[in-house]
Amino acid sequence: MPSDVSSAKPDADQPLWREALAHLRALDAAWDTAPAAARSASLHACRAWMAAQETLPRLAALARLLADGMTRRQLWSVLVPVEREVARCKITDVDILDADLPPGRAAAAPRLPLTVVVDSVRSAFNLGGLFRTAECFGVRELVLCGYTPLPDQPQVARAALGAEHHVAWRHVEDIREALAALQSEGVRCFALETVAGAPDVAAVAWPFPCALVLGNERFGLTPEVVRLCDGAARIPLFGLKNSLNVVTAFGIAAHVIRSRFGA
């Protein structure tokens, strides 16, 4: 997938990006209900319109990813970058007071031998929160997969509050390759997912080094990815909702894993 557009793009282009977003959201909203023929027609119309925007090469390049037979997740690989461009200057709840420890007073704790694999997280603000949480718990590394945004994006950096400079990270397009590489190094990978029969995150005998695998905010991890992991863990919930925000869930799991490592 082409790299994300720079934040320096002129505001004059915003109406075209917003129109593209409207087309894609309409396609996404009707994905499960529209007849196949109607969906295909809408897909071709959206592709043709985007490809015709010659003044926006990035948008025209994304149009090439719209093809018959694509999955909804593949549609999102086009929708998410367009959403980011439209919202690139919007800051919501991250304008908060942040105070780091003075130099020399930071806790001299050993680095936690935990790799966090992030698969197709769509929110730049969520990724920033994952970086900030990872830094707080001393996580060794983040591996960003799929269409997860990169930390050089303004929204990620704003939410991370500088933590992206203190946590190692790398990008691997295909999560299957990322998991295989970790496992070849003897790193056991655990999916944090609401899998039936999965043990409580606090009941897992966490080995070190290990990896925690986090999924998309809406779809979670695919069954294939869960099968590729060495195990799964879940956070028991007691309300009506059956899932937590990905940053909140990661914070709970990171605390448990850090406690096991300290013990």
CB 257 within 8 A of CB 114: yes
Residue spans of the chain under pLDDT 70: 1-12, 88-108
By C-alpha distance, which of 214, 221, 225 is closest to 114?
Answer: 214
Angle between helices 72-86 and 14-29 (to 10 degrees): 150
Relative to beta strand 188-192, strand 168-172 is unpaired
Q: Give the pLDDT confidence score for residue 60 in this predicted structure.
A: 87
By C-alpha distance, which of 86, 79, 94 is closest to 216?
Answer: 79
Angle between helices 124-136 and 246-262 (to 10 degrees): 10
Residue 13, helix vs strand vs coil? helix
Express each pLDDT in 208-224 by its tens digit.
Answer: 999 999 999 988 999 99
Q: How open is the CA angle 7-11-12, to the nearest 5 degrees?
A: 135
**Interatomic CA distance for residues 139 and 159, integer angstroms:** 18
Residue 219, helix vs strand vs coil? coil
**Interatomic CA distance for residues 176 and 242, integer angstroms:** 26
By C-alpha distance, which of 57, 50, 61, 1 is closest to 23?
Answer: 50
By C-alpha distance, which of 182, 179, 115, 125 is closest to 148?
Answer: 125
pTM above 0.75, yes or no: no
CB 213 within 8 A of CB 232: no
Q: Give the pLDDT confidence score for residue 171 in this predicted structure.
A: 97
* Residues recorded for the chain: 263
